[in-house]
Every structure is written in C-alpha cells, then in structure tokens.
Amino acid sequence: MSPDIARRLRKLAVVTVIFAAGAASASAQQRYDPGASDTEIRIGNIMPYSGPASAYGIIGRTMSAYFRMVNDNGGINGRTVEFISYDDGYNPSRAVEQARRLVEADEVLAIFAPFGTASNAAIQRYMNNRHVPQLFAISGASRWADPVHFPWTIGWLPSYRTEARIYADYVLTHYPGARIGILYQNDDFGRDYLAGLKEVLQDRYAQMVVASLPYEISEPTIDSQIVAIKAAAPDIFINVATPKFAAQAIRKLAELDWHPVHIMTNVSVSVGSVLKLAGLDNAKGVLSAGYQMDVTDPQWDSYPGMQHFRAFMAKYYPDADRSESGPLVAFNMSSALVEVLRRCGDDLTRERIMQVATNLDIEGAAYIPGVRVKTSPTDFRPIEHLQMMRFTGEKWEWFGPLMNGHSDQITLSPD
C-alpha cells in the first residue's frame, strides 16, 4: 500500500469516528416515543363535556385555547402542541374507550389532566400497563399517590383526605361539641373525604356525626337527602358534592330556612358554575378551603400570574364567564405541563416525562402565596397546602393560616 493511500485511509477512519460520535450524540439528545417528533407533541385529554359533571367541560375548552396560545408563540422548544380532548360524559366505561382511542389510535405521548375520580380509576391500570403517563389527573383521590404500584399515574389536586382533615381540625377547634351531618358522593371521591374526617375525629366521629347520607351521580336531585340530614338536627353540614349537587344542596338549605355551619368541598367553589346557580345570597357564609386565587376577587389583579391569565383569556377565550374558576384551573395546570415538556428538551419519551413530573418544585402560575407545586419520586402529591375561606356573597374571603393536612398532625406552612 502506498503512503498516500495509507494517509487517505487514516483520514477516512478519523472522519468516520467523528461522524459516528456525532451521530451517537445526536441520538442521545433526541429521543422520541409515540406522540413526539422534531415538529410536534401530541397530548391527550379526557373531559366531561356532557353528563352530570359537564360544568367542568370549560376546563378542557380553556386548555385547548391555552395550547393555541402556546403554538402562536412558537410552541415548546420549537414543537407545536396538538391537544386532543375527548368527552367521556363522566362515565368510567366511556373513559376507558377514550383512553384506548388516544393511546392506540391517536398515539399521544401522554394523557394529561383526565377528569374525575371514577374515570381516572377506570383507566389507571390500562395506562400503567401501557407505560403511558396518566399525568396530573384532576382528582384528589389518594390512589394517585402510589408510585410503587402505579408509577405512571400522578394526580394534581390536594388530596381529598388532606382537605377533609383540615375541615375536621377546624370543627374540633371551633365547634368541639357540635353535631355533624354529611352529604357525600357514593364513590372514591366521597369516601376519601369520610376517611379524612375519621382520621382526625377518630373515636368522636361516631358521637359527632349524626347523619351521613350518600347520593349517586345518576340521581336527578339530592333534596330528599338534605331533608333527612336536617331531621337529625346537626349543627354543621359538610357538603361533599360535585357542582350540580352542591348547588342543589345550597338551594335546598335556603328553601328549608336551615342555617347550619356549612362546609363545602373545594371542587365546587366556582362562583360562576356553582354559587350563582345556587343563588349568591343563599351561598353567603359557606366555608371551604382553597389554594387557587379567586377569579372574582380584585385583590389578585396586581399579581403577574393573574395578569397573564386575564390577558390570555381576553385574547383566546373572551366568551368565557369571568366568574368561573375552571379556566384558571386549566391555566395553572397547562402552565405546569408546558414547564414539564420544556424541561424534557429533546428527550420526549414517556419515561422522561414522568421523571420530570416527579421532580418538581415550582410556583403555581396563579396560586395563593405560599402554595408550591412540589413532587419527588416517592411523593406524587403536587399540592398539599390549603387555606380556609368563607364566601361573602360576592367573593371568597381567606382566613387563618396556610395548612397541610397530609401529615399525622395538621401543620402550618413554614412559608
């Protein structure tokens, strides 16, 4: 072999090594699962646009508007987001159908913000068997915080048990000898609240709770349950109901001229979709606990997150009822998803999404001061702090400290 040919072969070998190394580096940097490419990210969603929980459909519509805004501003790391949202009618069997459609036909990268305890429970095993993120389920059921058995499922809302523990602590502090009546939805949503109350009241639960009646979501009205609870003469009424039934309960209390201390679950605090329907005067004095800024309260208007929200809504969803809390739920959750996807960079795999989603410590876009979104590989509860609030007849008024009811003892926030 001539010296010249030998030199050329050595040069070619060096170039080949360099090319191979570069290709390997590019391959390591760009990793895609179904639903992701150089130009697009497909995200699925399941929402009750019809049925007994259709009031929540505005969340999905706002999310669609949010991702239009994201795409108009260049997408996420240069990729547009295709947000595919289907209706399950708040029906678990339809939720399973829609999950299969999204994963197997639409080939989404993840299902984001699927709504409701029963629907999420119905798809949980399927999502985990397929290794597809069930990301930030809109439910506070405790089953979403089980990384050992369901590592592909993570919730978003504060645990219903956490919320119930805070209510129980409030009752023991201010009304230690009170009689309690409870209305609850007969599924994991309602039963988690009962479990949280029992964890704090303990032996006193049987003595203090004089009436505890369930309702089915298929029932047209809960009037008969309210009448029966009132007959037991409780001093405190705990209203563990989704919007349609929560509004019915408020109206029925007013119709009966019954005025107990009324504590209502956070999932039904929307002024627009619940309290207006019940009658604002009827809802005056209702207590709850929250973590998200109240869209009807002007005290938050100077905060950057609320300003961004209002500007977004004015441009991308101007017809929405400004008193509804659902759009702000969508805004906060969508902002968090964008941050997760942004941090994934070019590693848009389902495994990487779960790694990022379970290692968060960020400030919510429009949550009350002190509330952070924090997760870890062993803690799948993004939001754990709430603050008590009272409806004035116009807006929610906050009082007391920020509290965490997750631990064995109710704790105040260190913030």
- Average pLDDT of the chain? 91
Q: What percent of the chain has pLDDT over 90?
A: 87
Quick one: pLDDT at residue 404?
84
Q: Do domains 40-158+298-383 and 160-290+387-412 have the same CATH topology?
A: yes
**Residue partners of 337: CB distance under 8 A and separation at least 6:** 43, 112, 113, 135, 136
Q: Which CATH superfamily is 160-290+387-412 part of? A: Response regulator (3.40.50.2300)
Quick one: pLDDT at residue 34?
98
Per-residue pLDDT of 359-374, as tens digits, reads 999 998 899 999 999 9
Q: Is the pLDDT of residue 147 over 60?
A: yes
Question: What are the two backbone dihedrals, phi and then psi, of residue 73, each rounded to the nearest 5 degrees?
Answer: -105, 25
Query: Tell me: domain 40-158+298-383, CATH 3.30.465.10, correct?
Result: no
Per-residue pLDDT of 48-75, as tens digits, reads 999 989 999 999 999 999 999 999 999 9
Q: What percent of the chain has pLDDT over 70?
A: 91
pLDDT band at 3 (very low <50, low <70, confident <90, very high): low
pLDDT band at 211 (very low <50, low <70, confident <90, very high): very high
Across 163-188, average pLDDT:
96
d(CA 138, CA 146): 16
Radius of gyration of the chain (CA): 24
**Residue partners of 314: CB distance under 8 A and separation at least 6:** none
Question: What residue segments make up the domains of the chain, in order of their start?
Answer: 3-32, 40-158+298-383, 160-290+387-412
Per-residue pLDDT of 218-273, as tens digits, reads 999 999 999 999 999 999 999 999 999 999 999 999 999 999 999 999 999 999 88
Q: Given the structure tokens 């009827």, which residue do they identify?
A: 282
Report CA-CA distances (Å) from 225 to 148, 186, 221, 383: 39, 13, 9, 32
